[in-house]
A and B are shown apart, each in its own frame.
Chain A
Amino acid sequence: MMLIPCPWCGERSENEFTYIGDARRQRPDTSALDVSDETLKAHSDYVYLRDNPKGWHQEYWQHTSGCRAHFKVERNVVDHRIRASVKADEELPSFPEGR
């Protein structure tokens, strides 16, 4: 069972959290009432398409049974190591290629 570092509460057990999904996914700006094909496509991709990388993955988690904040972690989906975690509106640090 993973230990997940919540930027607000510190390292807590996985069962306090809910996995939300890919953090690099950007919801397109849909505020314009006339919807262009590009926006429609971008929105459809946002809703339906997910990358499935082997290795490092930037993702949102919510501390559901804790402070309830969403935050970003960078987790290796092969071995579940977490190398960074930041608040939802912060950028994850960049790492050199490899491990």
Chain B
Amino acid sequence: MTSFRLDQGGLIDRNAPLNFHFDGKAYSGFQGDTLASALLANGVQLMGRSFKYHRPRGVYGSGSEEPNALMTVGKGQEQESNLRATMIDLYEGLEAKSQNAWPSLKTDVMAVNSLMSAFLPAGFYYKIFLGSANFWLLPEYFIRRAAGLGRPNELANEDDFQHHFTHCDVLVVGAGLSGVAAALSAARSGASVTLVDEHDKLGGQGLWRESSQREWLHEALAELADYPKVRLMSRTTAWGHYDDNMVACVQIEGDPGAPLPPHQPRARAWHIRAKRVIYATGAIERPLVFANNDRPGVMLAHAGAAFAGKFGVLVGKSLVVATNNDDGYHSARILADAGASVQLLDARVEVSEALQDSLKGSNIELSLGQTVLSAKGGTGGVTAAEIGGLDGRSSRMVNCDGVLSSGGWSPSIHLHSHTGGKAEWREDLQAFVPGKRLQEGVAVGAAAGIFSTQEALNSGWQQGICAAQDLGHSISAGQAPTLGSPSLDTTPILPLWSNPKPKKVKGKAFVDFQNDAGASDVVMANQEGYRSVEHLKRYTTLGMGTDQGKTANINGHALLAQAQGRAIAEVGTTTFRPPFTPLTLGAFGGPHVGEAFAPVRRTPMHALHEASGASFVEAGMWKRAEWYSRDGEDMWASIKREALHVRRAVAMCDVSTLGKIDVQGPDAQEFIQRLYCNGMKTLAIGKVRYGLMLRDDGFVFDDGTVARLDENHYYMTTTTANAAAVLAHMEYHLDVVWPELKVRVASITDQWAGMAVAGPRSRDLLQAALPHVDMSNHGLPFMGFLDTELAGLPIRVLRISFSGELAYEVHTPARFGPQVWQALSETGKDFDLMPYGTEALGALRIEKGHVAGGELDGRTTPADMGLGKMVAKKKDFIGRLGLLREGLSREDRPRLVGVIPADGRSRIIAGSQLTEEGQVGGFGKVTKSLGWISSAHFSVEHDCFVALGFVESGALRQGQTLFAASPLDDQHLPVNIVSPHMIDPQGERQNG
């Protein structure tokens, strides 16, 4: 069935037929078709079901404004949903499916919603919420299933997407006549120009409206293509205009739903930084609002004209075209010239002679003062229309197979609005045009409310020159070309927001097709007090959805203004926000997915850990060895073996991920003093000290060690997690707070590798490895360090302990890390040395009561962690005044405690709340939380799970039994509160 295809005309290639499927049925179209035009050519009008009422819908527009014809295209991994049929370029083998209908588009059982429309009014969701919570659940269950768009593809998208960044003098958005004119005049003036357009062909309507326009466009585009500094981009949507003229675009490269050829991206995201932006974005026609104006076969007048002119598809043979403005005449003429018989209804009673004359010699019957009141039809399309005067009386039925309407044109001011530019109401055009602007962006042509062809072209030409000249390009671009017929005397548009509804007609008059919001819903929202356009939008959902009300907003806002007896300018419009049209999420991610999502940081010894059977954990961006499997052990067996080996013998752990900061300068000592809450002044050269850093508000920020290398030279470590934040904290205080301090800081985290050698035999091992150094308590006491060499490699040995055992850290420049690790491993063979991972490390420090990330959570003070005595009394430091606040020194604050399961075997879950009651929660029951478990692990020393936590009044509760409640895990575990130092409270081991 190809009876809707014209024998000639359009930008399609009739020698290149393409086969495609829609809902499983085979059809054919031509190269140059969109899915929408090809379906229409095949006589398919029913293309979708509406969101809420499941009313049958056909295509309404011809471009990116389309609210109805949303399709799912492609199969498997390629499948994409909610694509507008008007924007899908037809390709061989395309497979499209309709959405939101079951069992089929034609017999959709959910269409009963339509009968229930009285019960699904504006603000339906809000009203349901007013009922009891339980009542909400029932309709929610039903609506979730009934309402909706296409289903998202649940398969991972393997497509390639790319990101591009570029700069230009002038970016022109929209390649219609005014846009091409702007691009050409700017390029001729000497500017670098980028011209983007969302369609597959640059040129816009001029390509099919008149031959003189087409010829000029071809010449102009050919000339532009020859400029080396000009970039022409089709299928590229400028979807957002951001600060300092950064315009975000997405360029579709691979047809949606089609398999990609190798090495071709699906889409490219472009960030274009332009010195000047010219919006040649055109305008969007809005429909007239009349009863059943959503029937398949009802569409925008311009859409009908575009299907005929651009695609050689006549949407009907006997058409009713209703208008309130001059452009309806152009559309009617194109349709009549294509072979339709047209009844043109102009709501205006008087129009200019010239306009009437423009219909001469065509098969158009003009009736003035008449409009369409209702459309009659169903899934099979329109069969008749009821027409009459604006008073709604003396109406009559006319038979027709299509009803088209033009309610005026709304300039596409979206990009202008994105930058904070104001919308200004033009009474003469009945449209918002760009008002006050905040960025260097200017609208031309229809986007500026300039609708005559020649004037639109002139405005583009002029602004192109202005932009170029502004930027210092002064080559003469010459005169703008004169194209086509001079503009007619115009007759002003007649504001017409809702046509009268004939008495016996059922069915809504729709304003927003995609959201099923009708004129009556706008009136109801206003009656119920939703008086601002923003409230109207939320209450009725008018202007939401994938089309964001491109055809609906002005009608809706005007109806609201009418209901309030106010001017439209006063009521205003909702704010346009990016993106202009829906975009594929893949373009945002670009190539930064999977392994390329974030950089991976590996320690210098990474390969050695892999060879030793390590499992890795992600810590920030780092990969850290978590445990090392041996002989088919499970995870717990490995962790326990490693931890026990630290307690009983000696083991080695990679601590290269610790943040390391080099601090130098004559005021380094003073700065370090102010940075840490504990005394640092007495730290001697050759000594290392544990330090606690607070924020200005008095809470603990980070902890680490400070080694004094020289009079004015310190070597700091931070926790792995806070390395960057601590550096920034130091830089801020040096740059901003104490610029008088002569200190420089530098991150050397990546420049140094580190390994902890821990366990009672660690000294023996190091002594064997370093025979030339005195490793005794005398030679290297606890909290001392020394620089020496191991196998000819420079190392720094610090005697510090995180596990609580006799322990050392060996640091070395990163490039020597693997050799030093191997050298120690070699010597370690005699001492049964084994590596241990972060799990054992955590287990050891928890049973020792050493704080780490779980405890340093930004809510705890030094005293909360039992480190109150560290806080210096006789110096100023960051956080000192914060700590003085009453709430931070209260005795009943949650304080650090040790926690062990009362039954001596159950596992304590980190994050559990500590309570006095065995059962937490339940209906109407409130249980007071006394604290929480901050970290938990298995203690090899006690052979059971242990934990650290914070509980109100801390030490006073030692000996009590509380409950560690984790309702999500359904666990309420009796636990005993003990000292946080669950092994060696006197520290004899590490000092030994």
Contact = CB atoms under 8 A, between A and B. Distances in A.
Interface of A: 1-3, 14, 18, 20, 27, 30-33, 35, 39-40, 43-44, 46-48, 60, 62, 64, 68-70, 78-81, 88-89
Most B C-beta atoms less than 10 A away, residue of A2, A18, A30, A69: A30
Contacts of A27: 696, 737
B897 to A, nearest CB: 29
A33 B874 CA distance: 7
Most A C-beta atoms less than 10 A away, residue of B271, B273, B696: B696
A12 to B, nearest CB: 11
B509 to A, nearest CB: 40
B876 A80 contact: no
B861 to A, nearest CB: 15
Interface in B732-748: 732, 735-737, 739
A30 B737 CA distance: 11
Contacts of A70: 731-732, 735-736
A78 B246 CA distance: 17
B815 to A, nearest CB: 24
Contacts of A2: 243-244
B881 interface: yes
A31 B880 CA distance: 10
B507 interface: no
Contact of A69 (B697, B735, B876): B735
Contact of A35 (B271, B438, B732, B884): B884
Contacts of B369: none
Contacts of B793: none
Main secondary structure of the interface of B (DSSP, over half): mixed
B704 interface: no
20 contacts: A1-B243, A2-B243, A3-B243, A3-B244, A3-B273, A20-B736, A27-B696, A27-B737, A30-B876, A30-B880, A33-B876, A40-B881, A43-B696, A43-B881, A62-B731, A62-B732, A79-B438, A80-B243, A81-B438, A88-B735
Contacts of A88: 735-736, 739
B438 A1 contact: no
Interface residues of B, number: 25
Interface of B: 242-244, 246, 271, 273, 420, 438, 696-697, 728, 731-732, 735-737, 739, 874-876, 880-882, 884-885
Main secondary structure of the interface of A (DSSP, over half): loop
Given A1-B246, A14-B243, A47-B697, A62 B882 contact: no
B467 to A, nearest CB: 18
Nearest to B740: A89
Nearest to B244: A3
Contacts of B876: 30-33
Contacts of A78: 420
A79 B735 CA distance: 28
B881 A39 contact: yes
Given A1-B243, A31-B876, A89 B732 contact: no
A47 B874 contact: no
B865 to A, nearest CB: 21
Given A3-B244, A20-B736, 14 more contacts: A1-B242, A1-B271, A2-B244, A3-B243, A27-B696, A30-B880, A31-B876, A33-B875, A39-B881, A44-B881, A62-B735, A68-B731, A80-B243, A89-B735
A30 B881 contact: yes
Contacts of B731: 62, 68, 70
A43 B885 CA distance: 11
